[in-house]
Amino acid sequence: MFLKKIACFAALSASAIAPLAYAGSAHAINLSYTPGAYRTVGVTNEGAFSQNVNTSGFTTIDFNNSTNFTGNDLVQYTFSSGSYATSPGSTGIFNDQWAPAGVNGEVNQSKYLAVFEGNSVSIKAKDGGIFNYFGLDAGALSTGNTFELLKGGVTVAKWDYEQLNAIATVVGINMSEQKNGFFEFFSEGITDNFDEIKLSQVGGGGFESDNHTFHLGTGKFESQSTPEPGVTLGMLAVGGMFMYQRRRQKLQNAK
């Protein structure tokens, strides 16, 4: 009976995880979603941030100082069009009503990155750096939003609008029911580390994001904060139950 319950639980968990897995990869990138956090207590008009925004070892780019923007000393941003706009209407860095919302759907009054139809933005680690964590505040999710992680130009994992929208819950004020929230992608081991993040818009519309947060490192990403309640997708729970059952069986066999 216990084994039947384990098998049933595993099947249910796998069905929740499978839609978010990249079918062409054997890697185990994990995706988690929460409404996000505030960087500064009481400041709610800058969008949502990673739980790790103020933790040593993490770097956040908020796009607010975006004159001649190309990234920072750790990461390089490259626009497929070769340049970016500073006013709404095309791929660029600016602020308007579609800025990714705050933790409780608050209006974001800061600048953000928008990728429009047929365009993409590539974010690469400099000097041979490797990522094992990346998070972003995605807003006004819409058809055509495409998110991809790569290593050496080869796709490690990929998600689209339908997959991200299915787990998002925060609806921004005056966003016509379009969802927002903080998505985090992290490695389970060295085989799924990545050195490039690619944001694309396939078809009409735009892909809006803000408060990109990075962690450079190889191997498994070790969480350094306690996440707020949200949706966490992975095999940790299922794996833990199977490990418990294996240990229980070993003890029985040893009697």
User: Is the residue at 5 inside a domain?
Assistant: no
26: Cβ contacts below 8 Å, ≥ 6 apart: 191
How many CB atoms are located within 10 Å of the residue 187 CB?
27
How far is CA 81 from each of CA 12, 119, 200, 253, rounded to the nearest angstrom? 43, 7, 12, 64
> What does the alpha-carbon distance between residue 111 and residue 205 come to, in Å, rounded to a whole number?
18
CB 183 within 8 A of CB 157: no
Quick: pLDDT tens for 16-66: 333 344 434 445 789 999 999 999 999 999 999 999 999 999 999 999 987
User: Is the residue at 207 inside a domain?
Assistant: yes
List the one residue out of 214, 209, 212, 213 whose CA is nearest residue 93: 209
User: Is the residue at 156 inside a domain?
Assistant: yes
Domain that holds residue 214: 24-234
User: Is the residue at 15 inside a domain?
Assistant: no
Q: Looking at residue 166, which CATH number applies to its domain?
A: 2.60.120
Please give the chain's pLDDT, 255 residues, in tens.
433 333 333 333 332 333 344 434 445 789 999 999 999 999 999 999 999 999 999 999 999 987 889 999 999 999 999 999 999 989 999 999 999 999 999 999 999 999 999 999 999 999 999 999 999 999 999 999 999 999 999 999 999 999 999 999 999 987 888 999 999 999 999 999 999 999 999 988 899 999 999 999 999 998 765 444 444 444 333 333 334 344 444 444 444
User: Is the residue at 244 inside a domain?
Assistant: no
User: Is the residue at 10 inside a domain?
Assistant: no
List the one residue out of 178, 197, 170, 201 whose CA is nearest residue 186: 197
CB 140 within 8 A of CB 208: yes
Structure tokens at 188: 């389970």
pTM of the model: 0.79
What total of structural domains would you count in the chain? 1
List the one residue out of 130, 123, 136 whose CA is nearest residue 72: 123
User: Is the residue at 4 inside a domain?
Assistant: no
User: Is the residue at 106 inside a domain?
Assistant: yes
